[in-house]
């Protein structure tokens, strides 16, 4: 079997590529060239079947929802329900970040049930097992990590976050450039501690070819994790973050040379005015690799509302280069998200993606907005609900209002600008 990238390089238009081109309304041969040069990826493990989606240049912005059990709260049916909600509200991908219960069984079930691509962070499973056995982080066996990556690839995982850029070099740039929040990536914190206490190199970096071997075999897309991402606005764009980015850029090239699909993860927490510069820097350093961002959150002062903060930063990021937005829920920084948090997180990310796609003119974003705008002018409520990101909520609000049976809404009541402007008679 060859990867989507390898086939694109050979000039083959795969069924998956054709499917993506049709969905996005782009020319299949143009898309093939974008996949061949790595500006677009189509994450899909050779062992899974589901409708393919593309991520990258010229395509609509995609969004990911994180689900997963934790040690304190482990209820698989609940996580399955969260996955269904995510997909129903428009998530293009789901990451299983479980750390509680039988991790392999949970992943297996999720892979079986999911109609969208599935991502993981394999080091979580390794660290969880170690902690259950009472071990210390620095005792992680590199062989266990590679074993886990291989097991998950075989099981059908479509993309994996691997913090290969947390190296002795990148970590060294954290010295003498003090951070407020240190490291906030779980994978990054584990690997930095491992490197430091063992006085050795990150195995995912040192033995990157082993990673590539596995990912090539199953066409797993590598998501190069930003383990040194800023954990608060004040730490954004510091030397540690940029040093890791430089190494990630080198690893992008090596993945492409091996025919392995690769995307790059980005911050995190970031003041609004640094987002454009960061996206452009990341695209440049990583030779136009698809960018996958978490947030970025434009303020740290809104715990309980980080889906809003993430939508602000996510819109700006996607306008300036991000191709894939990881959702942030209202539970971020506070607790494990429940089903309602998942819904609100996905919707906020969809708003960000839609806002950016209007600018980029990708997918059907402009057509959708036009349809709803026209319906407002026509006071055509059914068309408004039909085109809304969350039709049920919009309809429920209107239906419950005092003007539920009127063509206008109860905000302006009879003194309706649309009716006045159209010269419609206003009732007494």
- The residue (of 132 and 284) whose beta carbon lies closer to a copy of itself is 132
Q: Which of 37, 78, 368, 380 binds a copy of itself (CB under 8 A)?
A: 368
86-115 residues near a copy of itself, rule: CB under 8 A: 99-100
Smallest distance, a copy of itself to C-beta of residue 402, A = 4
417, two tokens: 């600008």
Q: How far is the CB of 242 from a copy of itself (least distance, A)?
A: 19
- Residue 284 Cβ, how far from a copy of itself at the closest point, in Å? 20
Q: How far apart are CA 156 and CA 153, in angstroms?
A: 5
* H or E segment and range at residue 301: none
CB-CB contact of 165 with 51 (8 Å): no
CA-wise closest residue to 295 among 318, 273, 264, 261: 318
User: By CB under 8 A, what part of segment 377-396 binds a copy of itself?
Assistant: 377, 384-385, 387-390, 393-394
Look up residue 352 and give its two tokens: 């960000």
Question: Between residue 305 and residue 324, which ones bind a copy of itself under the rule CB under 8 A?
Answer: 305, 307-309, 311-312, 315-316, 319
Sign of CA dihedral 140, 120, 183, 69: negative
Residues 106-165 touching a copy of itself, rule: CB under 8 A, are 124, 127-128, 131-132, 134, 137
Could you give the CA distance from residue 151 to residue 331 in angstroms, rounded to a whole number?
31
Q: Phi then psi for 129, rounded to 5 degrees?
A: -60, -45
Give me the residue label for tokens 């066409």.
Answer: 219
Answer for which of 190, 252, 262, 346 binds a copy of itself (CB under 8 A) is 190
Contact 36, 63 (CB under 8 A): no
Compare residues 82 and 269 and give the one whose CB is closer to a copy of itself: 269
CA distance 341 to 347: 10
Name the 3-class secondary structure at 59: coil
Q: How far apart are alpha carbons 51 and 17 in whole angstroms?
A: 11
Count of residues touching a copy of itself (by CB under 8 A): 107
Cα–Cα distance measured from residue 28 to residue 22, given in angstroms and rounded to the nearest whole number: 8
> Quick one: 12 or 412, whose CB is closer to a copy of itself?
412
Q: Which is nearer to a copy of itself, 112 or 397 (CB)?
A: 397
Nearest residue (CB) to a copy of itself, 181 versus 285: 181
Part of the chain binding a copy of itself (CB under 8 A), chosen from 24-32, 257-265, 285-293, 301-309 = 301-309
Q: Whose Cβ is closer to a copy of itself: residue 289's or residue 347's? A: 347
Give the N- to C-terminal CA distance of the chain in Å, as an integer.
Answer: 73
The pattern of x and - marking residues 38 through 77 that bind a copy of itself according to CB under 8 A reads: --------------------------------xxxx----
**Contact status: 189 vs a copy of itself (CB under 8 A):** yes
Output the smallest distance, CB 375 to a copy of itself, in A.
9
The single residue listed with the structure tokens 């010229």 is 58
In the complex with a copy of itself, the residue whose CB is nearer, 38 or 122, is: 122
324 DSSP 8-state letter:
E
Q: Which of 104, 108, 193, 287 touches a copy of itself (CB under 8 A)?
A: 193
Looking at the chain, how many residues does it have? 428
Binding mask 220-259 for a copy of itself (x = CB under 8 A): -----------xxxxx------------------------
SS3 category, 380: coil
Q: What gap in Å lies between CA 362 and CA 370, rounded to an integer?
A: 14
Q: Which of 217, 369, 379, 383 binds a copy of itself (CB under 8 A)?
A: 369
């Amino acid at each position: 079997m060859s990867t989507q990238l390898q086939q694109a390089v050979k000039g083959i238009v795969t069924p998956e590529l054709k499917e993506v081109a049709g969905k996005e309304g782009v020319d299949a041969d143009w898309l093939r060239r974008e996949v061949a040069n790595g500006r677009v990826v189509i994450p899909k493990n050779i062992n899974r079947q589901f409708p393919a989606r593309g991520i990258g240049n010229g395509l609509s912005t995609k969004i990911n929802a994180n689900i997963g059990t934790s040690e304190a709260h482990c209820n698989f049916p609940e996580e399955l329900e969260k996955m269904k909600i995510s997909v129903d509200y428009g998530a293009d991908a789901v990451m299983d970040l479980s750390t509680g219960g039988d991790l392999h069984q949970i992943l297996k079930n999720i892979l079986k049930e999911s109609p969208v691509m599935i991502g993981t962070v394999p080091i979580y499973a390794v660290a969880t097992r170690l902690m259950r056995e009472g071990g210390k982080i620095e005792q992680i066996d590199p062989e266990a990590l590679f074993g886990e990556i291989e097991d998950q690839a075989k099981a059908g995982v479509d993309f994996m976050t691997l913090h290969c850029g947390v190296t002795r070099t990148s970590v060294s740039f954290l010295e003498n450039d003090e951070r407020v929040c240190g490291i906030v990536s779980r994978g990054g914190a584990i690997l930095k501690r491992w490197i430091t206490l063992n006085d050795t190199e990150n195995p995912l970096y040192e033995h990157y070819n082993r990673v590539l071997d596995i990912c090539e075999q199953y066409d797993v897309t590598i998501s190069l994790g930003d383990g040194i991402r800023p954990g608060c606005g004040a730490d954004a764009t510091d030397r540690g973050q940029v040093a890791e980015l430089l190494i990630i850029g080198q690893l992008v090239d090596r993945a492409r040379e091996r025919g392995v699909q690769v995307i790059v993860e980005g911050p995190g927490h970031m003041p609004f005015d640094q987002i454009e510069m960061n996206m452009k820097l990341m695209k440049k350093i990583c030779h136009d690799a698809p960018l996958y961002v978490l947030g970025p959150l434009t303020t740290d002062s809104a715990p309980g509302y980080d889906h809003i903060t993430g939508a602000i930063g996510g819109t700006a990021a996607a306008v300036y280069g991000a191709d894939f937005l990881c959702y942030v829920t209202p539970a971020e920084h506070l607790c494990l998200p429940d089903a309602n948090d998942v819904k609100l997180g996905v919707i906020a990310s969809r708003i960000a993606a839609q806002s950016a796609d209007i600018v980029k003119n990708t997918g059907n974003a402009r057509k959708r907005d036009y349809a709803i705008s026209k319906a407002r002018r026509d006071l055509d409520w059914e068309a408004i609900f039909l085109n809304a990101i969350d039709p049920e909520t919009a309809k429920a609000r209107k239906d419950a209002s005092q003007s539920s049976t009127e063509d206008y809404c109860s905000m302006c009541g009879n003194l309706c600008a649309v009716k006045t402007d159209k010269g419609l008679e206003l009732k007494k």
